[in-house]
Structure 1
Amino acid sequence: MKPPTRAWRYLVGAVLLTAVPVLQSCSTPPTAPPASSATSQSPTAPAVDQVQVDWLHKVCTSDKQLQEVTRVKVPRTSPPQEKVIEYLDSLRNALRSIIGVFEALSPSPVPGGDEVVASYLRALKQASSELDAAHTFAAAGPDGTGSALTLASLTLLGLRPDKTDLPTFVKTSPELTRAYQSAFACQRPPSPLKTTP
């Protein structure tokens, strides 16, 4: 049996490290950006709803963790079958963790927010099913590893909310726009995923 290549050890490690901080980061209270303090000092500026800010911060943080998983690249090599299975197992576990995080965001305290969460969850569960299929290909034998990796790559490439994305949703009201601008995680790159690239 060939020893695992450095690229594959790094790849599996990257997927695992991406999944671990999901619950920790989403439970951390958001910190408003400096701009919000200036806004709050203005006598004419409407108050920002902190409940909305907190929820939007959690959605954006979860979205960033999802994007970290989707950016993991599959090396263009012919790895051993067991390494492909190990990679797919790590990837499936990472997605399951993120599904749990998004499920915890509902019911939303923000009107209409549950549909945003549902859009993520539908896409995540579909991707999880596709990765299960990729795992089946890889487990069937060495000849299936190429198909498994192709399916996994396409799944990650297309993973995004399927109907209502956060950037579009927050534009539906000035109040949501202000809360979004005050949510620290939402103002840090990368921007939340949209339904289309």
Structure 2
Amino acid sequence: MRTRRFSCTLAVLAALAAGCGDAAASEDTVAWTNGVCGALAGFTRAASSGPQVDPADPVASVQGVHSYLGSTSEEVRRSLSALDAVGPSPVEGGDQYVARLQEALRSIRSGFESARTQLAAVDTSSPEALATAFPAAVAPLQELRGLPDPTEGLRENEELRTAAEQAPACRELRGTGTPSG
């Protein structure tokens, strides 16, 4: 249910590492690209798991979504720290690619934190308040669907596309499922 809102965002992030190419990339470029993809692994796994939502138990659903948002926000924080640690790109355009990726992740984290704050204020003892407040609390997550596609630079740069194909963390990231539907 809630994972639908994240499908587009996760697909965009997973696509960051889904490039392909025929030319060989330098070892430095493959290592750097591997670090970038590795930085996304925890977030992608956490976001792909989706929140626990039980329509028959709205209180547990609020708690499940709140927990999901918290753990996924933490993984976004880790991804941002890991991206900071990869260092400068050995390829022209790589630093701009990472900057767009970081901007997208910050936007995701902001949306998750906003929704979490609103969920914390939901009165779960009142079915009427819950029916009104729960959808309003998760509404900021809709904004995530409008994130710009940060893969433009990766697609335009043949060496980064090729490096992503060769990097083990990128191949693993491509194997991480995104939520369906």
Over 3 Å counting, the alpha-carbon distance change for 1:52 and 1:67 in structure 2 is: same
Q: Could you tell which deviates more after superposition, 178-187 or 66-75?
A: 178-187
TM-score for the superposition, normalised by structure 2: 0.61
2:100 pairs with one of 99, 119, 122: 119
TM-score for the superposition, normalised by structure 1: 0.57
Over 3 Å counting, the alpha-carbon distance change for 1:134 and 1:113 in structure 2 is: same
* Structure 1 residue 49, shift from structure 2 partner: 1.3
2:69 paired with 1:88: yes
2:8 paired residue number: none
Residue identity in the other structure for 1:179: A
Q: Could you tell which deviates more after superposition, 141-150 or 94-103?
A: 141-150
2:50 pairs with one of 73, 77, 97: 73
1:25 paired residue number: none
Q: Which runs of 5+ in 2 are unaligned?
A: 1-21, 124-129, 177-181
Cα RMSD, aligned residues only: 3.3
1:182 pairs with one of 166, 170, 177: 166
Residue identity in the other structure for 1:72: S
Secondary structure of 1:109's aligned partner:
coil
* Structure 1 residue 148, shift from structure 2 partner: 3.1
Higher normalized contact order (CA 8 Å, seq sep 6+, divided by chain length)? 2
Secondary structure of 1:107's aligned partner:
coil
2:154 paired residue number: 169
> Which has the greater radius of gyration?
1
Structure 2 CA distance for aligned equivalents of residues 83 and 47 of structure 1: 45
Structure 2 CA distance for aligned equivalents of residues 98 and 64 of structure 1: 8
Q: Percent identity over the alignment?
A: 24
Structure 2 CA distance for aligned equivalents of residues 47 and 62 of structure 1: 23
After superposition, the C-alpha distances for 1:51-95 in whole angstroms (9 at most, x for unaligned) are 101011112222333321221222332134555544432222222
**Number of aligned residues:** 143
After superposition, the C-alpha distances for 1:152-180 in whole angstroms (9 at most, x for unaligned) are 5x46x7497x34417x625533x445433
Over 3 Å counting, the alpha-carbon distance change for 1:165 and 1:106 in structure 2 is: farther
2:136 pairs with one of 124, 128, 147: 147
Secondary structure of 1:79's aligned partner:
helix
Question: Conserved in 2, the CA contact under 8 Å of 1:74 and 1:149?
Answer: no
Residue identity in the other structure for 1:133: S
Residue identity in the other structure for 1:147: A
After superposition, the C-alpha distances for 1:88-141 in whole angstroms (9 at most, x for unaligned) are 322222221111112222422222111111111111111111112112211223
Over 3 Å counting, the alpha-carbon distance change for 1:56 and 1:79 in structure 2 is: same
2:38 paired with 1:52: no
Structure 2 CA distance for aligned equivalents of residues 159 and 63 of structure 1: 20
